[in-house]
Structure 1
Amino acid sequence: MIKNYFKIALRGFRRHKLFTFINIVGLSIGISAALVIYLIVHFDFTFDKFHKDSDRVYRVTTDYSFAGEVGHNGGVTMALAPALSTEATGIDQVAPFYIYGNVNVLAPNGSSVGNKLKKQSGIIFAEGHYFNIFEYNWVVGNKKTALKDPNTVVLTTKQAKLYFPKLEYADMLGKQLIYDDSLKTTVTGIVEPFKERSDFMAHDFISYITGTTDHYVKDNFEVTQWGNTNSASQLFIKLAPTASAGKLEKQLNVMLNKHNPPTPENKGNTQGLSLQPIGDLHFDQVYGGFDGVRTASKTTLYGLLVIAAFLLMLGCINFINLTTAQASQRAKEIGIRKTMGSRRGQLIMQFLSETFLITLLAVIISVAIAPVILKLFADFVPEGIAINILAQPDLVVFLILLTLLVSGLSGFYPALVLSGYKPVTVLKNQSAGNSSKSRNAWLRKGLTVTQFVIAQFFIMATLLVSKQIYYALHKDLGFKKDAIVNISTPYKSINTDKQQVFMNRIRAIAQIELMSVGGAPPSSGNTNSTTVTYKDGKKEVKIDLQQKFADENYLNVYQIKLLAGRNLRSTDTAGAGNILINNTYAKVLGFRNPNDAIGKQLDYNDKQKTIVGVTADFYQKSLHSPIKPLAILQPGNRKWNNRTFHIALKPQTAGGNEWKTAIAGFEKIWKEIYPDEDFEYTFYDENIAKFYTAEQHTSQLLTWATGLSIFISCLGLLGLAIYTTSQRTKEIGVRKVLGASVAQIVTLLSTELIWLIVLAFVVVTPIAYYAMQKWMENFADRTAISWWIFALSGGGMLTAALFTLSFQTVKAAVANPVRSLRSE
């Protein structure tokens, strides 16, 4: 019986080759999109799911409100961890660790003799309890004692082979590693890295006690200071089986208020601790993940799922439309089969088997083209995603379920319709009856409208996202961003002769127009702020003030406008107390005219600062964030704010390579002065563009989804046009004989379908407008939702539909009427 079903199905496919092709292509596109999106979503949602008792593992994070500014930090004060053992209950394990940053590593007896491994990430200071929460497979060494003593280190097998490629793991024990030229450690253990997906990518585990004893790093280990919070200081805990996360949070905050109570001058400022489940770490957009570790956005992943559902829906709609449209052509077949004794259930199975075969072919095609799609979207797809049917049993299960789901969605309704025809009616009239035809026609119209609602929504969304990205990249941000190079000198060389020598040497390069040395550029991902108070005898204005550290050339390099007063001078040292403020801060202080702010005094970190100039406003971050009150001042003795060179280059000649020559000159001088450090530079406009990487990925994705949805919708439209013209062949012949022109016939055949597209436009416009408004709320400064976005979408969709319909309607209109009327 089943063999017979498939044999009849294959005969039907050969008889209706075009409709079969349209159905397979439509479903293939939807299924391939669903397959790739499944790989992405499954990849991200399986991070750190393998840890034992992961439902009881939490990260402790810090939240604060300071002078009206709300902030979040993934780290905690280092004093918290040792206090938990005596002051908190309900905790099974406590594992603090400290992220050591990018450091140079030397293995004296390994592969890097005389050749350091530079800027190694994934290095942390950890206690032995770390391995109780996160269980590694130990190759050599003792988990209980490996990190007990100072100056010991545990390595992963991969990193150990990098340091000691010629040694067996057992022989690595006792070998020495030197971090940042000073911190000497002894290898006491080797573990296997996690095979599963994890955000815990550390591979060098230095004993935590080392950080409190070694003279080089102990300054960063403020284990007794409750008032200092550092994102490098991470704390993970494992709750006892019967403990409550909510109750523990309350205990943590009681401890914090006990050891770090708010002072009268900090009244109104709050600080609190929260517990973040380990499962949320990979998707964290608030506290931040670990440096160098990619985090995912649940919003983006859910958006991908919606796109996959829409594209699958479009393919299914095509199938339903074309199958029900052909119903009358199969009416006689159904009548004869019912007369010969076929039951309705058997007919339903026959039609479902046809759908299953088409879906199976579409799945096979989708699996074949999925690797190509992954390569095309390599910038968007996370590294590590691949398709391998034999090694991914979950993927096989997904494809089986997807095949059954699509077969059911696409085939169930057409099977009910086709199997429901009455033999007497269809054999007498060769049709399904007027009422049935009417129902099917209305269904087809509704599904067609749904198709074009989805397609036009994607078009509108794509246009708006592209418009906002263009607006962000071309808006006047209040400073110059082109032809500016940023170079940061090594931290150890700040305010030393080396930095001065580097400055003097590169200043002589002919391609440099102007140079400034200081802290971060005008707009950056870094935030530096302090509490500042202004008193005028009547009122007191106390706010959290953003800071930029700069010299006298900073404004000129970035061409920041000065509205009042004067620029900084080389004589304005930190002790001089002269600063610039932006116009936003001037208005906060109550000065409508910037000139009125000149000469006013500010209480600035217990020191008096004098306002000597007011600059025009400029964005300190991306357009997602509003412009905030800001001060610009000399770095003084703040070493970390005096290591970035801001270099304005002269314009290039047409086809010239002056900038390349300048960069080569910088690198040559750098290698002479800093032979052990890698030369790195960035063009500032490229850094600005990186602010909108997520939006650019969204635009890419929407463009892809838009193209596919238009293509699938137009395929379905072409199929309906072919069916409509074939059904009205004799009508067209009669009209031509009676004098109808080609244009009149084309209009007749196209009008009904065009009205469906117009109806879809009317339905989708308010939906798209609402969705656009919600998305634009993510930007403090945003472009307008222009009328032409909707007009262009509707006009473009209409043009594409007319072009698609013209293939068939014009062909039918110019056909010889004699041939269509001959059988009459």
Structure 2
Amino acid sequence: MLGNYFKIAWRNLIRNKAFSAINILGLASGLACSLLVILWIQDERSMDRFHANDAQLYQVYEINHYDGKIEGTYLTQGLLANELKRMVPEVTYASSMESSFPRIFSANGQLFKVEGAYVGEDFLKMFSYPLLQGTPATALNVPGGIAISRKMAAQFFGSPERAIGQTIRYENKEDLTVTAIFENVPAYSSQQFDFLRNWQDYTKANSWVSNWGSANPATYLQLHQGTDPAKVAAKIKGFLASYKSQHKEAFTELGLQPFPEKYLHATFQNGKIDGGRIAYVHLFSLVAVFILLIACINFMNLATAGATQRAKEVGVRKVVGAVRRTLMLQFVCEAILLTLCSVMIAIALVVLLLPAFNTLTGKQLLLPTTQPAFWALLLGLMVITGLVAGSYPAFFLSSLNPVKVLKGNLKFSTGATFFRKSLVVFQFALSAILIVGMIIIYQQLDYVQTKNLGYNRENLLYIPMEGGLINKYDLLKEEAGKLPGIVSISKMRETPTVISHSRGDIGWVGKDPSQEVLFSDAVVGYDFVKTLDLRLLAGRDFSREFGADSANYILNETAVKKIGYTDPIGKPFIWGTDKGEIIGVLKDFHFSSMHDAIEPLFIRLDTSPKWGTLLVRTTAGKTQTTLAALEKLCKTINPGIPFSYQFSDQEYTKLYKNEQVVSKLANYFAFLAIFISCLGLFGLAMFTAAQRTKEIGVRKTLGASVPNIILLLSTDFLKPVAMALLIAFPIAWYTMNRWLQGFVYKTEIAWWVFVLAGLLTIGIAILTVGFQSIKAALMNPVKSLKA
């Protein structure tokens, strides 16, 4: 019986080629979109889920109460991991982790830049990064030792077996011994590194780590199996009270988060974990479901629009004894067959689009054709889609009265017509929401890209200070200053794009002892203000003419307001135990993304940092020739180290990588939603034109012109679209306003955004229904009245 249904379904599909092609194309587009999003969601949710001990792995976070604020952060004290392991019996292993920017390694005549991290000796005991050589117990317990990846071992020594025990040179200044080789870190790990160095080596080079007042590394714990994490979290909540000064109004608490959850839930609101990438997972899931629903709605509209062609078939079947249940089953089988064809095309589309989708999202997704679960998912998706898409047409067509149908009196109830128009309203409402979202996201990205940051991003280069550049900085600056096209040179510990380090042990005259304010701090060289083209509100930049400047400070205006000095120049400022004077006040400039407010910032001079970034201001229009001269100079001063650089504006753009992905996906989703919705409107236009054939004939007989008929039909078609806009705009405004709340500095939602979105939606709808309206208006009235 079912075989006969599918045979009839196939014949109908072949007979109505145009109808079938439109339907299959719409469903295939929706299914392809859904499959891509499902693959992305699966990848997002599988992140960090491969560790054998993932149920016992936790990351420590801090809740800072200060200055009337409550802020959460994953930055913790470098001493915290070992102290928690020592003092809390439920902790099996603990490790700090400080990621490193690309470092230069050399061995056997090979030289590469490699990214890695400094970690505690328990790190490889906690996390499941398989060792090819060495053991977790000895891999990271020796100062001067290094664990490297299979890839790194192959690059320098040919194989993991040859690499173990070998010497590799670090930054052309230190020889390290390879103590272990681990398997390459998989793409589904949020921790990415190719080398791991011992934590003791990090503390030797960074004395601030031993200060409980400084926070930067991450802290990971593995609890004993069966331990209640809530009890451990309660136990360590006030742990820092014994190690750093706490006040009633200014104190720090600790919290625990399951490590596998951190990737998707890493945003803090008022000190609590609230959101993160999970918001995008939910958003894209919802969009994928809606686009698939839009495609199913198209099937319903097109199937009912073609009811006039199938009505007599249904009537004849009922007359010869077919019951409603068998007719419904037949139409559902037709829907499933059509969905099967759509699924096959959707898979082909996914294969074609996956490389571009991976480039867009930064993923390495593959179609898991070898996994039974994938085919089970596909089968379930096909059946559900077929049932959803075919349910209403099956119910509607099987309910037709055979007597009326065979007499040619096929009329559709007001309720049926209203339902179909409601489906179109739903389609275009979602499309309008996506169009508004697309425009506002573009506006916000344009706003953050063009807003004056307080420093000049144009013609500003970042050059990492590696190898000999650190010790020979003064020579480099002197020689580079002679090159044509160089305006100014300075240096800093981080970059102007992101200053992430902060301190709480700040003091000034008149400070309330119970008050604690976190200040961001930057370590810079001479000519910093000039090189960044910053604006001094008072005072001066650091200068060699003042020998005491190494103990003095420059503050931004937010810091001065927080301190309360009315005339700050020459006033005392204390960092830890280092007391100096304020010599300059800078107009506020952005040193992080516009998601965050500008924080109080103090800048100090360090003439001999161990690492950092060279800042080079070049003359406009001479960047390329200046770069070539700089590269030649750096190779002379710093032989054996490859020359590298970044443009300031490109580094700034990276702060909004997630937003850029969302913007591009919003564009594609909006286009796809509009495309599929137009197919639905086309179906409604076909249906309406078929229903009003005789009416059009009568109107033309009575003297109605073709333009009048076109206007009449188009106006009727556009009513659902207008209704969709009225529903969509309040929802779009609310949704995008909530999204913009994630930015402290943001654009305003202007009225013209909705006007533009409305005009685009209506314009596309007019183009869609225009063909059917013109076709109906041009029909010979004689034929219309005979129909």
- 1:319 maps to a residue whose letter is F
Partners of 1:581 and 1:615 within 8 A in 2: yes
Residue 64 of structure 1 and its aligned partner are, at CA, apart by 3.2
**In the alignment, does 2:262 pair up with 1:281?**
yes
- 1:398 maps to a residue whose letter is L
CA deviations on 1:110-132 (whole Å, 9 max, x unpaired) are xx4233x43323455553x5555
- 1:120 maps to a residue whose letter is V
**In the alignment, does 2:448 pair up with 1:478?**
no
Q: Which residue of 2 aligns with 1:109?
A: none
Moved more, 577-586 or 314-323: 577-586
SS in 1 for 2:189: coil
Q: Which residue of 1 aligns with 2:609?
A: 639
Q: Which residue of 2 aligns with 1:560?
A: 534
**In the alignment, does 2:709 pair up with 1:733?**
no
Residue 669 of structure 1 and its aligned partner are, at CA, apart by 0.6
Partners of 2:504 and 2:516 within 8 A in 1: no
CA deviations on 1:482-505 (whole Å, 9 max, x unpaired) are 1222223227643x3x21221122
Q: Which residue of 2 aligns with 1:37?
A: 37
SS in 2 for 1:481: coil
The TM-score normalised by the length of structure 2 is 0.90
Q: Which residue of 1 aligns with 2:5?
A: 5
- 2:379 maps to a residue whose letter is I
Partners of 2:239 and 2:254 within 8 A in 1: no
Partners of 2:480 and 2:630 within 8 A in 1: yes
Q: Which residue of 1 aligns with 2:672?
A: 708
Residue 199 of structure 1 and its aligned partner are, at CA, apart by 3.4
**In the alignment, does 2:611 pair up with 1:622?**
no
| Counterparts of 1:365 and 1:164, CA distance in 2 | 47
Residue 780 of structure 1 and its aligned partner are, at CA, apart by 1.0
- 2:623 maps to a residue whose letter is W
SS in 2 for 1:487: strand
SS in 2 for 1:276: strand
**Aligned partner (choices 593, 609, 619) of residue 650 of structure 1:** 619
**Aligned partner (choices 796, 815, 819) of residue 760 of structure 2:** 796
**In the alignment, does 2:431 pair up with 1:455?**
yes
Partners of 2:214 and 2:503 within 8 A in 1: no
Percent identical residues: 29
| Counterparts of 2:693 and 2:145, CA distance in 1 | 87
| Counterparts of 1:590 and 1:189, CA distance in 2 | 54
Moved more, 331-340 or 693-702: 331-340
- 2:609 maps to a residue whose letter is K
SS in 2 for 1:526: coil
Pairing of 1:37-436 with structure 2 (within 5 A): 37-67=37-67, 72-74=72-74, 76-84=76-84, 87-94=87-94, 102-106=102-106, 112-115=107-110, 117-122=111-116, 124-127=118-121, 130-135=123-128, 156-165=149-158, 169=161, 174-180=165-171, 192-193=183-184, 197-202=188-193, 204=195, 212=200, 219-220=204-205, 225=210, 227=212, 231-232=216-217, 234-241=219-226, 243-253=227-237, 255-258=239-242, 260-262=243-245, 268-286=249-267, 297-389=277-369, 391-428=370-407, 430-431=409-410
Q: Which residue of 2 aligns with 1:292?
A: none
CA deviations on 1:753-774 (whole Å, 9 max, x unpaired) are 2111111111111111111111
The TM-score normalised by the length of structure 1 is 0.86
CA 1:395 to 1:790, structure 2 compared with 1: closer, same or farther past 3 Å? same
Q: Which residue of 2 aligns with 1:782?
A: 746
CA 1:626 to 1:226, structure 2 compared with 1: closer, same or farther past 3 Å? closer
| Counterparts of 1:143 and 1:617, CA distance in 2 | 48
Residue 667 of structure 1 and its aligned partner are, at CA, apart by 0.6
Residue 277 of structure 1 and its aligned partner are, at CA, apart by 0.9
| Counterparts of 2:435 and 2:103, CA distance in 1 | 47
Residue 445 of structure 1 and its aligned partner are, at CA, apart by 1.0
| Counterparts of 2:364 and 2:138, CA distance in 1 | 35
CA deviations on 1:662-682 (whole Å, 9 max, x unpaired) are 111111111111113221212
- 1:374 maps to a residue whose letter is L
CA 1:318 to 1:256, structure 2 compared with 1: closer, same or farther past 3 Å? same
CA 1:798 to 1:14, structure 2 compared with 1: closer, same or farther past 3 Å? same
CA 1:122 to 1:579, structure 2 compared with 1: closer, same or farther past 3 Å? closer
Q: Which residue of 1 aligns with 2:271?
A: none
Residue 60 of structure 1 and its aligned partner are, at CA, apart by 3.1
| Counterparts of 2:555 and 2:123, CA distance in 1 | 46
SS in 2 for 1:535: coil
**In the alignment, does 2:479 pair up with 1:512?**
no
| Counterparts of 1:469 and 1:527, CA distance in 2 | 26
| Counterparts of 2:7 and 2:734, CA distance in 1 | 50
Moved more, 661-670 or 393-402: 393-402
Residue 157 of structure 1 and its aligned partner are, at CA, apart by 4.4
| Counterparts of 1:460 and 1:650, CA distance in 2 | 40
Residue 610 of structure 1 and its aligned partner are, at CA, apart by 3.9
Residue 392 of structure 1 and its aligned partner are, at CA, apart by 3.4
| Counterparts of 2:658 and 2:41, CA distance in 1 | 16
SS in 1 for 2:359: coil
CA 1:563 to 1:178, structure 2 compared with 1: closer, same or farther past 3 Å? closer
| Counterparts of 1:278 and 1:429, CA distance in 2 | 68
CA 1:611 to 1:101, structure 2 compared with 1: closer, same or farther past 3 Å? closer
Partners of 2:508 and 2:572 within 8 A in 1: yes
CA 1:403 to 1:251, structure 2 compared with 1: closer, same or farther past 3 Å? same
CA 1:647 to 1:397, structure 2 compared with 1: closer, same or farther past 3 Å? same
Partners of 1:65 and 1:271 within 8 A in 2: yes
CA 1:82 to 1:629, structure 2 compared with 1: closer, same or farther past 3 Å? closer
| Counterparts of 1:549 and 1:157, CA distance in 2 | 36
Residue 179 of structure 1 and its aligned partner are, at CA, apart by 4.5
SS in 2 for 1:59: strand
Residue 627 of structure 1 and its aligned partner are, at CA, apart by 2.5
CA 1:277 to 1:29, structure 2 compared with 1: closer, same or farther past 3 Å? same
- 2:619 maps to a residue whose letter is K
Residue 280 of structure 1 and its aligned partner are, at CA, apart by 1.3
Gaps of 5+ in 2: 269-274
Q: Which residue of 1 aligns with 2:623?
A: 659
CA deviations on 1:124-165 (whole Å, 9 max, x unpaired) are 5553x5555445656565666666766666555444433432
| Counterparts of 1:570 and 1:34, CA distance in 2 | 62
CA deviations on 1:623-655 (whole Å, 9 max, x unpaired) are 22222333445x1446258x5333222222xxx
SS in 2 for 1:513: strand
